[in-house]
């Protein structure tokens, strides 16, 4: 199939070039994060805070915009083509980006970085898997190159956000290489790293020093905001504490956007009751999403109409949210052959509809599940809540050892995740189809989308697969948590991205005294 050539003039992120090299004296902005980065080396930065800090320290060819579309960081533009089975992406690069040592970043540095990230012998990056589909990097000239992939894959472009453009001295190439041995080209450099703090110093005149302080306790966080010890919080905070801050503290602003993450109720499709579509839909109708969001979550989430939030414009489904209706639920149970027994529980063939609902030992999650349990019981479904410490919970989740479960998907960048989560070929241990959802029509659309090179056609296949997922209740979609940052009113120009990226920090303005 002929592949349509695409040439895109791309949105340029305001990264700040490096007109002068050296450490700049600057004011500082103190920010709270919930946990310490696990590893600041770009090769091993697997947690969200490590990844996001690396976004500020290093550049990549591409990243994601607020609309979850591809944007250039180091590239000026790109275009794609197919040569036989090979997928080739041509990049024209910016000519005024410099490493911290003053050397201009060129196509050769992209080639070297690819070699570092795919080295299996010494460096052994955690992200080798996402970049190994690149079989060659062809340098056209100093500021133009082509990435040659063995085949087309929707994730080829997405995974380039993992490829940081860096320099390493030959003698510093060793296992578990430290960030201290790596030269980057981003507008910030790591100055201090400790268990409770990471400080980034600017290499661009006019930027502020960024101080990330680990604040695990939300009461402590609230006090630090009140006492102006924290200028901007990027940390997780409970709806209860957030509501208290809004009601009681002046001089702080609340910035939020519907996030890309999904909170869902997982269903075991092998369960004798849950394998029936009408039962799955009836249970969905007993979940009062809007009430939970309003009263429990204090408006900090949006009902999920499908796997994808509004940020994914090509995938968003307008009217996919089930409104609470005990009456409609009862109708479906009766159609499925159930009748209520003397305890008011639906039963079929003398067997009660009794389910085990697994949940991790997170206080807020437990409270939410207990609310769901009450509504399910009111609607005739008997639920036993099984609270487990995280390790046990996650092991049971991965093995599909549950009837119902509360889960969350984070960090996905597009519809390609549906293969990993719902395709019949992704049942553990081969993927994350932990509820054993099997639908040949769904698989067919996913298989077509995976090899379709035309973006419009590919998205159409994915959208049809998504509609099947909704119709068949592969999951019971619950809500998308908002990304919420809380800052002093003197911190201006905050424009949060739905994936929680720290890139908007590059554009914020510090008007604090």
Say which residue the tokens 């697969």 belong to. Answer: 465
Cα gap 204→482, rounded to integer Å: 32
pLDDT at 305: 96
Q: What string of DSSP letters covers 35-89? A: S--S--STTT--SHHHHHHHHHHSEESEEE-TTS-EEESSEEEEEEEEETTEEEE
The per-residue pLDDT for range 371-393, each reduced to its tens digit, is 999 999 999 999 999 999 999 99
pLDDT at 306: 96
pLDDT at 18: 43
C-beta separation of 284 from 375 below 8 A? no
pLDDT at 227: 95
Question: Is pLDDT of 364 > 90?
Answer: no
C-beta separation of 221 from 237 below 8 A? yes
Say which residue the tokens 């499925």 belong to. Answer: 336
- Signed CA dihedral, 36, 505, 410, 6: sign only: negative
Using CA atoms of 411, 417, 421, 426 in order, give the dihedral in degrees to the nearest 10: -130
The per-residue pLDDT for range 430-453, each reduced to its tens digit, is 999 999 999 999 999 999 999 998
Residue with the bigger pLDDT between 18 and 254: it is 254
The per-residue pLDDT for range 295-333, each reduced to its tens digit, is 999 999 999 999 999 999 999 998 889 999 999 999 999
Question: Is pLDDT of 415 > 80?
Answer: yes
Smallest Cα–Cα separation from 267: which of 474, 472, 477, 417?
474
By the 10 Å C-beta count (0-12 exposed, 13-18 middle, 19+ buried), 392 is classed as: middle
Instruction: List residues bridging with 258 in a β-sheet.
Output: 482
Smallest Cα–Cα separation from 363: which of 240, 260, 256?
240
Backbone angles phi, psi at 162, to 5 degrees: -85, -20
pLDDT at 65: 87
**Domains of the chain, start order:** 23-40+188-251+489-513 (3.40.190.10), 59-185 (3.90.76.10), 262-482 (3.10.105.10)
pLDDT at 367: 93
The per-residue pLDDT for range 83-115, each reduced to its tens digit, is 999 999 999 999 999 999 999 999 999 999 999
Instruction: Report how far apart, in Å, the C-alpha atoms of 501 and of each of 91, 182, 335, 484 are.
Output: 24, 22, 47, 12
Question: Encoding tokens for residue 345?
Answer: 């529980």
pLDDT at 35: 95
Say which residue the tokens 């199939």 belong to. Answer: 1
Cα gap 315→293, rounded to integer Å: 23
Mean per-residue pLDDT for 118-125?
Answer: 96
Question: Is pLDDT of 1 > 80?
Answer: no
Cα gap 346→354, rounded to integer Å: 9
Q: What is the mean pLDDT of the chain?
A: 93
Model confidence at 67, pLDDT cuts 50, 70, 90, reads: confident
pLDDT at 15: 39
Backbone angles phi, psi at 67, to 5 degrees: -90, 10
Model confidence at 69, pLDDT cuts 50, 70, 90, reads: confident
Question: Is pLDDT of 21 > 50?
Answer: no
The per-residue pLDDT for range 455-481, each reduced to its tens digit, is 899 999 999 999 999 999 999 999 999
pLDDT at 97: 96
pLDDT at 12: 37
The per-residue pLDDT for range 137-187, each reduced to its tens digit, is 999 999 999 999 999 998 999 999 999 999 999 999 999 999 999 999 999
Give the start-end residues of each E strand in 365-474. 382-388, 404-409
The three-class DSSP label of residue 164 is strand
Say which residue the tokens 């080209």 belong to. Answer: 185
Cα gap 215→30, rounded to integer Å: 12
């Amino acid at each position: 199939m002929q592949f349509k050539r695409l040439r895109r003039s791309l949105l340029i992120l305001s990264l700040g070039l490096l007109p002068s090299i050296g450490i700049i004296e600057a004011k500082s902005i103190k920010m709270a994060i919930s946990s310490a980065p696990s590893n600041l080396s770009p090769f091993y930065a697997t947690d969200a805070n490590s990844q996001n800090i690396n976004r500020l320290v290093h550049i990549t060819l591409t990243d994601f915009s607020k609309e979850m579309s591809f944007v250039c960081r180091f590239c000026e533009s790109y275009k794609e083509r197919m040569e036989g089975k090979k997928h080739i992406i041509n990049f024209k690069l910016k000519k005024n980006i410099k490493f911290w040592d003053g050397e201009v970043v060129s196509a050769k540095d992209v080639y070297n970085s690819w070699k570092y990230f795919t080295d299996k012998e010494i460096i052994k990056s955690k992200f080798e898997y996402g970049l190994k589909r690149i079989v060659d990097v062809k340098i056209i000239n100093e500021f133009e190159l082509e990435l040659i992939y063995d085949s087309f894959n929707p994730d080829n472009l997405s995974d380039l956000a993992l490829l940081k453009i860096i320099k390493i001295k030959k003698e510093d190439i060793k296992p578990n290489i430290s960030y201290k041995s790596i030269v980057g080209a981003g507008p910030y450099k790591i100055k201090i790293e400790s268990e409770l703090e990471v400080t980034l110093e600017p290499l661009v005149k006019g930027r502020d020093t960024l101080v990330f302080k680990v604040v695990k306790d939300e009461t402590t966080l609230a006090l630090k905001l009140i006492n102006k010890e924290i200028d901007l919080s990027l940390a997780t905070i409970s709806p209860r504490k957030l509501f208290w801050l809004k009601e009681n503290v002046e001089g702080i602003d609340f910035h939020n956007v519907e996030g890309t993450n999904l909170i869902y109720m997982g269903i075991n499709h092998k369960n004798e009751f849950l394998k029936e579509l009408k039962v799955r839909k009836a249970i969905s109708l007993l979940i009062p999403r809007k009430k939970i969001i309003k009263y429990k979550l204090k408006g900090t989430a949006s009902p999920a109409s499908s796997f994808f939030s509004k940020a994914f414009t090509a995938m968003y489904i307008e009217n996919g949210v089930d409104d609470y209706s005990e009456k409609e639920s009862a109708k479906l149970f009766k159609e499925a052959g159930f009748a209520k027994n003397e305890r008011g529980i639906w039963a079929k063939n003398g067997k009660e509809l009794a389910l085990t609902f697994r949940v991790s030992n997170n206080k807020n999650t437990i409270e939410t599940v207990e609310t769901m349990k009450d509504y399910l019981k009111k609607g005739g479904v008997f639920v036993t809540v099984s609270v487990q410490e995280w390790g046990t919970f996650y092991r049971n989740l991965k093995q599909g050892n549950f009837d119902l479960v509360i889960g969350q998907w984070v960090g996905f960048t597009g519809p390609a995740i549906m293969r990993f989560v719902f395709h019949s070929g992704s049942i553990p241990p081969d993927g994350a189809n932990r509820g054993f959802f099997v639908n040949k029509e769904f698989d067919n659309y996913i298989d077509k989308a995976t090899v379709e090179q035309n973006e419009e056609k590919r998205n159409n296949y994915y959208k049809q697969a998504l509609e099947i997922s909704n119709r068949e209740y592969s999951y019971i979609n619950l809500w998308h948590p908002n990304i919420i940052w809380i800052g002093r009113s003197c911190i201006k120009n905050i424009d949060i991205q739905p994936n929680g990226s720290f890139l908007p920090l590059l554009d914020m303005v510090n008007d604090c005294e």
